[in-house]
Amino acid sequence: MTAMNKELALQEARRVVGYIEKEELTKDEKDAIVKESIANFNENVNPGWLEYRKSVSTDAAFVEWTDTEDHFEDLYGTQFIDCLGGFGIFTCGHRNPAILKTVKAQLDKYALHSQELVDPLRGYLAKIMAMITPGDLQYCFFTNGGAEAVEMALKLARLATGGRWFISSIGAFHGKSMGAISMGGKGAYREDYIPLIQQVQHVEYGNAEAMEAAIKNLQTVGEKVAGVILEPIQGEAGVIIPPPGYLKKVREICDKYGVALILDEIQTGMGRTGTMWRCEYEDVIPDIMTYGKAFGGGIMPITGIIARPKMWVDKLIDNPWILGSPTFGGNPLACSAALATIKFMLENDIPRMCKEKGDYIMEKLGELQKKYPTVLKSFRGAGLLICMEFPEAEVGYRVTKGLFERHVMTAGTLVNAKTVRIEPPAVLSQESIDAVLIRLDEAIADAKKEFKL
């Protein structure tokens, strides 16, 4: 660092910290933040990023500044109803006051742990997780991101079973670290990084016979399978709900061949699909379960795994660090957020809220589909994990864009907008739901007209 750069960096940091700490920004300051944010992203984040975003938002000048309950606001106070929910983070809403209160109280005590003394919140959180997850799921390991939790699940499966192979599914998404993309079922995310973990086979999602054949064939030639990894509903692939009984059948197959079943509930868990965990709905107990996204209440990042006692082998008990030792995993601030989130979810029956609001939205989507059958081809979902299917990506993109112009945020980019997800907070008000449905009707009507459908 040159002396000049040091001075410039200090000036810049002081100015930005000033923006954060200021109650009210002036119009000039807001204008400066918009202009500078665009330049900063282009020059120091990724020149492609804004172009990519712009394809959704039509206007890169919307800069997020605050969020509350079911919406977020740009610098100038323009409100967007959140029907994307950060891909599942905001189930309890934006800056949920009950969760925020707990996190602030913890912040006033200590934020991060010594790494050496006993940090009580991690223990309490693990105990409560064992209470709210099905069957004998018991031991927790906390991490910071979803992909990191998946890494731990994969390592634990190898450690506990002695197997080396994994079976994953076509279309699967488990994150983008090396282990997680090795499990990923989309070529586009994998190709540039090959060779990945070599011992992975991908089978058709929803096809239990294909799963059994893959395991059986490997075992017949002397290979041992460590784990099967599946999302109970494939989220990123476009809300793909497997046939009834599929997961139960996979459970039986795993038991038959001594393979660990890893269910990735990072997106489907914490009430999102209408039950606390999707595996509960399917009446299946995994050997290892991952969770994340909504787990930190939309306030702190925290993810993790929970496993059955049989997975917690002596080797791991003898050396607890053999699985992983992330510096920030299960830190007090993140644990306080997760504890307050669980409390809020149980007190307010968030899974039921997701189910009821999801059923209502899907009933209305049924009406829209009847009204615009050439545009809205189909829709599907569970709880508040819903997806609309359009005939072409361009049509879905037009609808998403139309919604954004009407200040409703959904997920869809020009790259892949054939299926558009609706994944709002459970605390989305009835008023907002009705506003979204009216605006969706208008956006679909626009697309119908534009594409002469």
Interface with ligand PLP (CB under 6 A):
87, 145-147, 150, 173-175, 231, 235-236, 264, 266-267, 292
Residue 217 beta carbon to ligand PLP: minimum distance, rounded to whole angstroms:
27
Q: Take residue 177 and report the two structure tokens written for it.
A: 């670290």
Pairing between strand 71-74 and 200-203? Answer: unpaired
Residue 303 beta carbon to ligand PLP: minimum distance, rounded to whole angstroms:
6
Residue 173 vs 379, nearer CB to ligand PLP: 173
Residue 268 vs 432, nearer CB to ligand PLP: 268
The phi and psi torsions of 21 (rounded to 5 degrees) equal -80, -15
Residue 301 beta carbon to ligand PLP: minimum distance, rounded to whole angstroms:
8
Residue 402 vs 412, nearer CB to ligand PLP: 412
Residue 77 beta carbon to ligand PLP: minimum distance, rounded to whole angstroms:
30
Residue 76 vs 87, nearer CB to ligand PLP: 87
For the chain, the first-to-last Cα distance in angstroms comes to 59
Residue 235 beta carbon to ligand PLP: minimum distance, rounded to whole angstroms:
5
Residue 410 vs 432, nearer CB to ligand PLP: 410
Residue 237 vs 395, nearer CB to ligand PLP: 237
Of all residues in the shown chain, the one whose CB is closest to ligand PLP is: 146
Residue 23 beta carbon to ligand PLP: minimum distance, rounded to whole angstroms:
32
Residue 121 vs 263, nearer CB to ligand PLP: 263
Residue 147 vs 208, nearer CB to ligand PLP: 147
Residue 380 beta carbon to ligand PLP: minimum distance, rounded to whole angstroms:
17
Q: Residue for token digits 């545009």? A: 375
